[in-house]
Amino acid sequence: MGGDHAPEQIVAGARLAAERLDARISLVGDPDAIAACLGDHAAAGRIEIVPARDVIAMGESPRAALRGRDDTSMARAVDQVRTGSAQAVVSAGNSGAFMALSAMRLGTIPGVRRPAIAITMPNAGGQRVLLDAGANADCRPEHLVDFALMGSVYAEYTLGLENPRVGLLSIGEEKGKGNELTKAAHALLEAADLNFCGNVEGGDIFGGRCDVIVCDGFVGNVVLKVTEGAAELLFRRIRQVVADSEELRPLAPLLGDALRAVAGQFDAAEYGGALLLGVNGVSIVGHGCSDANAISNAIRFAHKAVGGRLVEHLREVFSARAEARA
């Protein structure tokens, strides 16, 4: 029921995913509204409806949304994972409320101090992980170490990168460069059981120096939005230059296809969802503006994370760390 195009596009996305994946999908919310969108496309019994009467609106403060409201579609969806009825939950609704509900109802993995949002970014060679992309606006150095560990596990078991290299996002490559947070985190990361490759800069996010980039949630969210905004402005400028040129104008449709292909690599909806790492379950935070395709991609991504046993691997790594310390 959450997101700018709910429930139509959410249901349509679930239908796409049910056709594409070997997965069963539960749609949680107002049964009548969902059934109306679903029509008779029940995808051979692979989609079921789980009723919930209440809906958390996009603009609600997460705090207000959580208080004594057990029958929201979001709470019921998270509960599907908590009770074992589902292995992953996807939402395009109020992201603050969804993160809070996921953390509260699923609980955090023992040893994880703060769950973090991990996103994948396009880069020269393929994809890389950046976290935290917005769950924690203020972080302490030890939180960044947790993010590094979680990002490593995610890169290895969901993206298939062997012994992933972890970089600390800073302003200057030398160890002493950065702010108080990154300088303290640098020392902790060097001592951690990680393939730590030191400080990286903003431009390295798109280069090939590392596979996992760690930063606080304020910086990570700014990076995500700046990347999307810069790409959007750039495409608009290029289209304008083409439209203004007599020689290039006839090729605009052809070129438009090429640009769209590249734009897709810079579009979160295309290259995968954002994952709340560190909770006891796979929890995917979709864009509010998700269309059917974005929802289908997010479900595919959830399926991949479950298949790679992401949560189990995270539990092992954090439990091994606790034992090494004991």
Are β-strands 116-122 and 88-91 bridged in parallel, bridged antiparallel, or unpaired? unpaired
Closest distance to a copy of itself from the beta carbon of 267 (Å)? 12
Q: Does 64 bind a copy of itself (CB under 8 A)?
A: no
Binding window for a copy of itself (CB under 8 A); candidates: 43-51, 142-150, 251-259, 302-310? 251-259
Closest distance to a copy of itself from the beta carbon of 89 (Å)? 23
Nearer to a copy of itself, 221 or 296 (CB): 221
Closest distance to a copy of itself from the beta carbon of 108 (Å)? 21
Residues in the chain: 326
Return d(Cα 57, Cα 209) in angstroms, integer: 41
Secondary structure in 3-state letters for 219-240: HHHHHHHHHHHHHHHHHHHHHH
Q: Measure the CA dihedral 56/58/59/64, to 10°.
A: 20
Secondary structure in 3-state letters for 116-148: EEEEEEECCCCEEEEECCCCCCCCCHHHHHHHH
Return d(Cα 177, Cα 182) in angstroms, integer: 8
User: Rounded to whole angstroms, what are the CA distances from 219 to 204, 223, 265?
Assistant: 15, 6, 21
User: Per-residue string for binding with a copy of itself, 156-185, x by CB under 8 A?
Assistant: -------------xxx------xxx-x---
Closest distance to a copy of itself from the beta carbon of 14 (Å)? 28
Q: Does 58 bind a copy of itself (CB under 8 A)?
A: no
User: Per-residue string for binding with a copy of itself, 207-236, x by CB under 8 A?
Assistant: x-------xxxxx-xxxxxxxxxxxxxx-x
Residues engaged in binding a copy of itself (CB under 8 A): 122-124, 134, 137-138, 169-171, 178-180, 182, 201-207, 215-219, 221-234, 236-238, 241-242, 245, 247-248, 251, 254-255, 258-259, 261-262, 265-266
